[in-house]
Structure 1
Amino acid sequence: MAEIIIADTTRRYDGTHLETQPLGGTESSVIRLARELARRRHAVTVYTNCTTPVEDHGVMWRPIAGARPESCDLYVACQHPRLLRFVKRPKRRAIWVLWQPNHLKHYKQLGRVWWYRPVPVLQSLHQVNIWSPVLPRRDPQILIPLGLPEDVRGRAPLAAPPPRRAIFASNPQRNLRRLVEIWAEKVLPRLPDAVLDCYGVHDIPAGRDAWDVWGGSLLPADPSPQLRASVRVHPTATREGLIEAMRAARVLVYLGHKVEAFCLSVAEAQALGVPAVVAPVAAVPERVLDGITGYHEADPDRFAERTIALLTDDALWRRQHEAAIRYQQGISWSEYAGRFEAALLADRFPINRSVLAVPPGEEDTPSG
């Protein structure tokens, strides 16, 4: 099969970190795609800012600070045009656009993009719609929505509604302060017993209170005792802990951010059956079926009203909870890898159909 190289410089990680450390959407997506491509019998090597070589789930992980590879069948640069030159002479070069594509047309990057002309792989209609006409493009564009891992897919509906708990599960720099302001002004006065649990990867020192660290920056300044008790910022959670927290929430609330190119946290919450109230910003509304599995609301008053409704109306919550489980399971990472392979390799290598029907949990079983 094909020799595939992937390069990513978002942070220091390797494949083993998926089970041992909290990761962002980019890093976890790289690991999951690499594993699935290796399961399809491709020879996969991933170069990151890791410190030592590692082999994990059939994938070779290498420090990107080492020697540049000479060639491969497919080279995938993650997001950054500066990575396009990393493999000297690949037979095919692609750029996996996991963030907004606007930076690709920056005057410092545009020359690199046109020189190498990588095949772009996009994740959302939002990315397709804002793709600049000055950039090289595929016609039609390759659009594959990110896969969802099996630990959030296929859950049974909850027997009873959770208590009045909302959850925020994203980078706290992505409009957490404004969300808390809406909560304080429009939700908490009507639901004094409601709780907003805030999860995400952050670096608050152990033993420090988030309100003391973030007050006036990522959180409002001078909170009332009631607000301080209602909005609870949790330490960075394990994946299992975050899934448990999501399943225990009645609604996910998120104002979105202009940089969202897919919004994996909302997609995973929806797959778990959590209704969501989101602002229609960037790719975020693509993750929620408006009026069916949640709501798109730009107006703060309407945003608060929808949140209150899902926190208090058991019948509404039940309809949207079960609709999310029914309609928002997304595609598996196995299917994502199959589409990725078909889009970028099918004209050069036959698809290995022996791996298409491997049941979950038997990925390492040799095919007959």
Structure 2
Amino acid sequence: MHITLVDDSIPFDGYTASARPLGGAEKAFAALPGALARRGHTVAVYNRCRWSMFIEGAQWETFEGRRPLTTDVLIAFRKPALLEFVRQARKRVLWHTIPGRFLDRKDARAMLDNHKPLVLLCSEAQAVDWKARGLAVGLLPPALKSDFLNPAQVELAEVPRAIVTSHPRHGLDWLVDLWVERIHPAVPAAELHIHSMALAAAAEGGGIEPALESLAAKVFAASAQNVRVERPQGDHLMAQAFQQAWLHLYPGHPDDSTAFTLMESQAAGCPAVIRPLGAAPERVADGRSAYVAPDSDAFANLASTILGNPSVRASLSAEARALYGGRTWDAAAERLEAFLA
């Protein structure tokens, strides 16, 4: 099949995630073309990449480049308006990575009703507040790159370390309070490493948006409780960071309909304590690879227990790795083919 994927967001390509931090949705978009090409398809990708290039068997073109007149399958990423990117397509797919309710906006619904695409979701959480109303729907949970599935082995940090990768607006204020008041007093040697580009820039003397100023002040004041701010890295180094960490603390958010970094940390063998929000519970095996905490007390107690017990951490780590064994993009491409048949 001739498959065309199109995205109209930020500049990136199939190599970007290896060199610098990239959002989970963008990483998914960058990984699927090569997997489809390996399965024998002719794959063209159009996005805001800087120039044309051939990556893992797929042809990447700039968004303004000459688009094909026809394609067997058009996969529009996130924006329903992109369903019209190619005039003639045997099948159209909308790959949706944000809450389902956004598809009920008037302009989005008009596009869906007009083209009747297959709507490809990343999690069951996306369907909670959205009705397909006659549209075909498929579930394609994101897969993972070898950086996380088969990472180079690194030693666990000697000092118990928790890692946080969530957006600052996704519960970080609550988590820092919980760390200072409950978790750190229970495990005084433990460290909390917050991976955030915005907070790292502020820590280095740069500016920060007004809405995050009070949070930044709270984070920096918590340095006495071993709270550290780190810059996010590319996939290889982030996989190492997850391996070194004893625990991934994931506060979550109701609109987090993908929980990409939680998948990555689990695949790298990092246990987690999460709240039951958004797609996060779908990404773990509760009680085996991670714990879903029903409230703040449970969250603090579970985090303290894992940070204080290497044997508990080791057991959870083995289960996390096993949970994501085989979750490759090649397997995801095969699953997608079944939807396209």
Q: TM-score, normalised by structure 2?
A: 0.90
Change (3 A) 1:168 1:242: same
For structure 1, the 5+ residue unaligned runs are 347-368
Aligned residues: 339
Within 2, Cα distance between the matches of 1:300 and 1:267?
22
2:161 is the alignment partner of 1:137: no
- Measured after TM superposition, the shift of residue 185 of structure 1 is 1.6
Q: 2:45 maps to which residue?
A: 46
Q: 1:301 maps to which residue?
A: 297
* Residue from 169, 172, 188 that aligns with 1:192: 188
Q: 1:236 maps to which residue?
A: 232
Within 2, Cα distance between the matches of 1:22 and 1:225?
24
User: What secondary structure is seen at the aligned counterpart in 1 of 2:175?
Assistant: helix
**Counterpart AA for 1:146:** P
User: What secondary structure is seen at the aligned counterpart in 2 of 1:74?
Assistant: strand
- Measured after TM superposition, the shift of residue 181 of structure 1 is 1.6
Q: CA RMSD in A?
A: 2.6
User: What secondary structure is seen at the aligned counterpart in 1 of 2:27?
Assistant: helix
Within 1, Cα distance between the matches of 2:300 and 2:213?
22
- Measured after TM superposition, the shift of residue 291 of structure 1 is 1.3
- Measured after TM superposition, the shift of residue 330 of structure 1 is 5.3
* Residue from 271, 278, 284 that aligns with 1:282: 278
2:263 is the alignment partner of 1:264: no
Q: TM-score, normalised by structure 1?
A: 0.84
If each structure's helix is expressed as a fraction of its own residues, which one has the higher value?
2
Within 2, Cα distance between the matches of 1:225 and 1:210?
18
Q: 1:248 maps to which residue?
A: 244
2:215 is the alignment partner of 1:220: no
Q: 1:19 maps to which residue?
A: 18
Deviations 1:144-177 (A, max 9, x none): 2211112222569988785310001233332222
Within 1, Cα distance between the matches of 2:326 and 2:248?
18
Deviates more, 1:63-72 or 1:143-152: 63-72
- Measured after TM superposition, the shift of residue 316 of structure 1 is 1.8
* Residue from 288, 298, 307 that aligns with 1:311: 307
Q: 1:359 maps to which residue?
A: none
**Counterpart AA for 1:235:** R
* Residue from 325, 328, 334 that aligns with 1:329: 325
- Measured after TM superposition, the shift of residue 18 of structure 1 is 3.3
Within 1, Cα distance between the matches of 2:145 and 2:190?
30
Change (3 A) 1:146 1:68: same
- Measured after TM superposition, the shift of residue 259 of structure 1 is 2.1
Within 1, Cα distance between the matches of 2:197 and 2:156?
29
Q: 2:125 maps to which residue?
A: 126
Change (3 A) 1:254 1:272: same
Partners of 2:21 and 2:234 within 8 A in 1: yes
- Measured after TM superposition, the shift of residue 5 of structure 1 is 0.7
Within 1, Cα distance between the matches of 2:244 and 2:111?
47
User: What secondary structure is seen at the aligned counterpart in 1 of 2:146?
Assistant: coil
Change (3 A) 1:221 1:152: closer
User: What secondary structure is seen at the aligned counterpart in 1 of 2:112?
Assistant: helix
* Matches for 1:19-38 after TM superposition, within 5 Å: 19-38=18-37
